[in-house]
Amino acid sequence: MNDKVKRTTHLRITAILLIFSLLAAYLLFNIFQLSYLKYDYYREKTYDQVTTSSALKAERGIIYDSNMNTLAKSNTVWRIFVSTRDIKAAEKSSGKDYCKIIADGLAPILSLNSTSLYEKLRSSSVLDVTIKKDASEDEYKKTIDFIREGSLESLVFTEAESSRYYPGGTLAAHVLGFTGADNQGLYGLEYYYDDILSGTDGYYVYAKDAGGRALDTEYSDYFPAEDGYSIVTTIDSYVQSELEAVIEMARVNHGAQNRVCGIVMNTKTGAIIAMATTTPFDPNDPFALDEESQKKLNNSGLIVGTDEYKAYKNELMQIMWSNKAVSETYEPGSTFKIVTVSAALDLGVASINSKFSCSGYKQVGGWRIKCHKTTGHGSGFNLAYGLQMSCNPCMMTLAEGIGAGSFYDYVERFGYFEKSGIDLPSEASTIFHKEEGIGTTELATASFGQRFKVSIINHLTAISAVANGGRLIAPYLVEKIIDSKGRVVSEHQTEIKRQVVSAEVAGTVSKILIDGVSGDGGAKNAGVAGYDIAAKTGTSQKFDILDENGNSYLRIGSTVAYSINEDEGISMIIVVDEPTSNVKYGSVVAAPYISMLMEKLLPYFEYRSNSDIVNTTVENYVGMNINTVVDKLKKLKLEYEIVGDGDTVIRQTPNGNDTLTIALSKIILYTSDIEDDNVSVPSLVGLTTVEAIRVAVGAGLNVRLAGASASSPDAMDIIIEQSLPQGERVKRGSIITIRAINNSFED
């Protein structure tokens, strides 16, 4: 072999060895990289390919009222679904029409139309078709029986899911809100506390083979779900139901076009005891319009299914869901005069003995600004009278003394320029004049609550500061957060923001308001016999909506009130937006409903009564000797009538445990059977209190007075409500409760 051939062979061998060395080095480098440098990355990739996960849903927390009654909880519902791929395969192999079998079998169980269901199954192009997403437990059990009987285990399936349930239906709907399809909070407390209530979902990870079957390997793991915490609210279900009933009555009686709302608040702690807006939706079915909204939609003239129809329906739905007490603003009107008087007294620019005059208007900045009493309140009256009679010139005079800068400062101190901080979403902000923009006219109109807007919750919070000795307290709805075992995770602490006026000033203003209610003040209709109630009515104009002549024609009637019992207090507000009744004043459209609510709540909260009107609960005299009963009734100074000649009482009217007013009542005692001792109920509505008592007693009825007129009825009090309907036949001596209001006050 010559040298040239040797060199060529040597080079070839060297090249081959070099190539193999490089390949070996490359392979060794990749092995090293796979084993060490990128081990975690490729392990994760392999893990993802051979494993799958199954979600474990966390249980959403419960919402309780203050007495641990359930307001919202999660229930188990079942999704019923089918595998269309497996149905087609089964039909191909057996020749049976499984779509028909399943549709005919499940439709009656799940309250569905079998023809529609059959078409849905036959025409579906997806693999997993949901037949019903929220089947009840009874429907689920019947579905399981159907599956077993038809050997349909590989075609029809069930899956447990969580669904939110509100046992009270519409109760506190605007406070609670509701959840969406995937159980997330969308409105109200459900939205605000979503992170607290929802918890953290868990999941189960397991290895799978090529057919998707689970394998018992090291790759299996379990991450448990962490259930959400529960919240205990300050809402009292009894108070909430009473508030809802009262504001719905106000809405109907006065034709309120833009809803009615109300709040009841603990003045010492800031706890919201009740909050409601008419008419409530059902959070169990939140996308269904309430009756009034549906009526508006039906009367809109829009064609069902059109874009305009859908847009209007959506608009009505958004309004229906909104919490008017928190998310809307309004002009507070004369109820704001409490703030003006408090500021004037706190600054010392006026005293309780300061004198004022009113000729029916006051000339300010080139404008003649009227009082609600156009004939005027006269001259020489004091501050208490000016507030009780809601005199606008009196308030404008006070505002002049306070000055624009100080007036602005007190509006700020009362909390109007900050949100109240209530734990609900979408709280509205105050719309007020800029400080530098407050001229003499702006100051004058602001003094009696016009030409600016506040939220209803913010206004009640400010007025509650006067009830609370001048301390501004932050309102709240959640008292504590607890875990699934009932252990307290966190608890609310009362937040005192600041002292806005002195305790002495707050006490003085409260006394003025209480005296106005118990006497002849404009808020008299808010009173309840035997209780000290401070109240102020208001009627404001809506200047953002005008008629064709540029005049405001829509009104808002409202009343704010509070009562104090030793170291406790409750405040409340009712706002009637756009009443259409003949009388639109807050003293008529709101104050009587405050009275109705106070009449229910003050005894419920065990407030002291100092009534001069003596009411008594009737004892059950049936079975007693007639002479014994007569002695008892004489001691009570209660009139009686004996029917029959027996020795023992066999029947009585009123019945035992009924409550009546002693001075206006007579007990009928029956000692012998009598076939017919019924009387016809007369019509009392529209009569004065004195006339109504005379007519009722003359008809053989006992009378119980309710509301403000129960303590001091006068010639101007007109009956607006009677408990027994006209024309009904009732037992002689039955109790008829009548409620009167004074229609003469225009505020």
- In tens, the pLDDT along 127-186 reads 788 999 888 889 989 998 999 888 888 889 888 777 899 999 999 999 999 999 888 999
AA letter at 356 = F
Residues 412 and 452 in one domain: yes
Return d(Cα 80, Cα 437) in angstroms, integer: 64
Q: Is residue 539 in a domain?
A: yes
- For residue 246, what pLDDT is reported? 97
Q: Is residue 519 in a domain?
A: yes
With H, G, I as helix, E, B as strand and everything else as coil, classify residue 377.
coil
Q: What is the pLDDT of residues 223-250, one digit of tens each?
A: 677 889 999 999 999 999 999 999 999 9
Range of the domain at 26: 3-37
Q: What percent of the chain has pLDDT over 90?
A: 64
**Helix residue spans in 259-380 (DSSP H):** 291-298, 307-321, 324-327, 337-347
Q: Is residue 286 in a domain?
A: no
Domain boundary among 550, 584, 604: 604
**C-beta of residue 596 within 8 angstroms of C-beta of residue 276:** no
CATH code assigned at 495: 3.40.710.10
Residues 593 and 508 in one domain: yes
CATH code assigned at 156: 3.90.1310.10
Q: At what angle do helices 440-447 and 392-402 cross, to 10 degrees?
A: 130
Q: Number of structural domains, the chain?
A: 4
Q: Is the pLDDT of residue 359 over 50?
A: yes
Return d(Cα 46, Cα 203) in angstroms, integer: 19
Closest to 401 measured CA to CA, from 390, 391, 393: 393
Residues 516 and 584 in one domain: yes
Q: Which residue has the higher pLDDT, 484 or 3?
A: 484
Number of H helices, E strands in the chain: 24, 34
Residues 472 and 596 in one domain: yes
Residues 558 and 688 in one domain: no
Q: Is residue 167 in a domain?
A: yes
- For residue 43, what pLDDT is reported? 59
Q: Out of 103-107, 446-450, 599-603, 703-707, which region has the weakest mean confidence (pLDDT)?
A: 703-707
Q: Is residue 203 in a domain?
A: no
CATH code assigned at 683: 3.30.10.20
Q: What is the pLDDT of residues 665-682, one digit of tens each?
A: 889 999 998 877 899 999
Q: Out of 37-41, 331-335, 467-471, 588-592, which region has the weakest mean confidence (pLDDT)?
A: 37-41
Q: Is residue 260 in a domain?
A: no
Q: Is residue 313 in a domain?
A: no
Residues 538 and 678 in one domain: no
- For residue 126, what pLDDT is reported? 74
DSSP string, 543-560: TTSB-TTS-B--EEEEEE
Residues 25 and 136 in one domain: no
Q: Is residue 571 in a domain?
A: yes
Residues 574 and 680 in one domain: no
For residue 190 the two structure tokens come to 């459900």
For the chain, the average pLDDT equals 89
Residues 464 and 505 in one domain: yes
Residues 529 and 454 in one domain: yes
Residues 19 and 133 in one domain: no
Q: Is the pLDDT of residue 663 over 70?
A: yes
Domain boundary among 173, 198, 223: 198
Residues 429 and 510 in one domain: yes
Buried b (16+ CB within 10 A) or exposed e, 427-453: bbebebbeeeebeeebbbbbbbbbbbb
Domain boundary among 198, 220, 250: 198
